[in-house]
Amino acid sequence: MARLFGTDGVRGLANREVTPALALSLAQAAAHVLGAEPRGEGRRPLAVLARDPRISGDFIASATAAGLAASGVDVYDAGVIPTPAAAYLIADIGADFGVMISASHNPAPDNGIKIFARGGRKLPDEVEDRIEAAMALPPLAPTGAEVGRIQRFADAEDRYVVHLVETLPHRLDGLRIVLDCANGAAAGVSPEAFHLAGAEVVTIGNDPDGVNINDGVGSTHLGPLQAAVLAEGADLGIAHDGDADRCLAVDGTGQVVDGDRIMAILAKSMLQRGVLRQSTLVTTVMSNIGLHRAMRGAGIEVVQTRVGDRYVLEELGARGLSLGGEQSGHVIMSDFATTGDGLLTGLHIAAEVARSGRSLAALAGEIAIFPQVLVNVREVDRTRTSDEQLLAAIAEAEASLGDSGRVLVRASGTEQMVRVMVEAAEHATAQTVAESLAEVVRARLALAPNP
């Protein structure tokens, strides 16, 4: 039987896979596991509930709130706020856990359920497995005064915005910034935070109607932001995704600044200000070789993890580090957040532009990003990537690239697919090597025909 939890909570087509019944059962199970920890005498467990603006969030959040309250959990309903805001608020009010209803950068018909532990931290696999097992248990059924109560978390947005602005090392006065809120959860709070920090703000993708989240806007569709930055004569642009846990940027010339360049800019700034702990940055294996070279030149060590922000988080916690993230724009500043936070990241990128007096284009230009080609080889046996002939082909490719390139061949975590990623000094070289390795993967890892 497939595991219910994926790499970032439970996700699927709303009202088909992610149903009110599932939300109710999952909430009751979470109450079993996360509501059982010791607390003050006479105090019921407390959970923060939030969602992004997609239309299915109404009934999924309602079912979640019902499941929690019926299990004896008090619910603070924060309404539509970003995922990192929910995580921050769990810690800020000392809640026992929290639930975020969102499918992040997925289209509107999808939705998901993310559960956070005390302190606003993501759940380890072991706790997710315990919650999934608890779905088979009889639900908790308190009566009378012991049932939970549901109330509006009235100052949720204000608490989060004030927190964001208080983290900044420099105000944004004098900067003109375009924000693309992806018609998502950032629509209410991102413009407010940037304005409060001193920026002149122009918004696009800022009119959520429940069905237009991530639709041609946001961090997965940067064209509209690039056009708006140029049209407005802005200093830079910031793009969020639907639940605002990631951030990509556009400089004043309309060029995209990806997660690798964002991390490099923040790492160098933090090093200069003495707040980059152990002079170390945590990235995944997908980060560009150009980032590694730039960090080495700046005297910053790079630690790599598996793909997934949860692994970056684990490494940051284990080593006591302050900055990490992914090429996709999930950036974690652990002094201020327990998860990737697109608003926090965007604010700090803008603050470095203001602090340094240099343009984002100049800051990003210090990191030479190598051309990267990714080929997804589908319908192959992802369990056999240790095939000797494939390993030999990878070694030969690595030898041909030398220190001017990189090869990464990894199995998908969810599909019968193997990803082949190649970086090289020239795009044509990366393309040729990637296609050659993809052919080896197809030949060596072909699925056995059905009998």
Binding positions for Mg(2+): 104, 241, 243, 245
Cα 99–Cα 82–Cα 222 angle in degrees, nearest 5? 135
Cβ neighbours of 21 (radius 10 Å): 10
Contacts of 310 (CB under 8 A, 6+ apart): 7, 8, 122
> Which helix (H) or strand (E) is 231 found in, with range?
helix 223-232
Cβ neighbours of 356 (radius 10 Å): 16
Say how far apart CA 312 and CA 420 lie, in whole Å: 21
Say how far apart CA 76 and CA 148 lie, in whole Å: 10
Q: How many CA atoms lie within 13 A of 364 on its CB side?
A: 22
**In a 3-state reduction of DSSP, which class is residue 6?**
strand
Q: Among this protein's residues, is 190 annotated catalytic? A: no
Contact 47, 98 (CB under 8 A): yes
Task: Give the DSSP letter of residue 447.
Answer: P
> Which helix (H) or strand (E) is 333 found in, with range?
strand 331-333
Contact 33, 129 (CB under 8 A): no
Say how far apart CA 260 and CA 190 lie, in whole Å: 22
Cβ neighbours of 95 (radius 10 Å): 26
**In a 3-state reduction of DSSP, which class is residue 416?**
coil
Of the listed 56, 62, 102, 104, which one is catalytic?
104
Residues tagged in the binding site annotation: 104, 241, 243, 245
Look at the chain and count its residues: 451
Cβ neighbours of 163 (radius 10 Å): 17
**In a 3-state reduction of DSSP, which class is residue 110?**
strand
Q: Give the active site residues.
A: 104
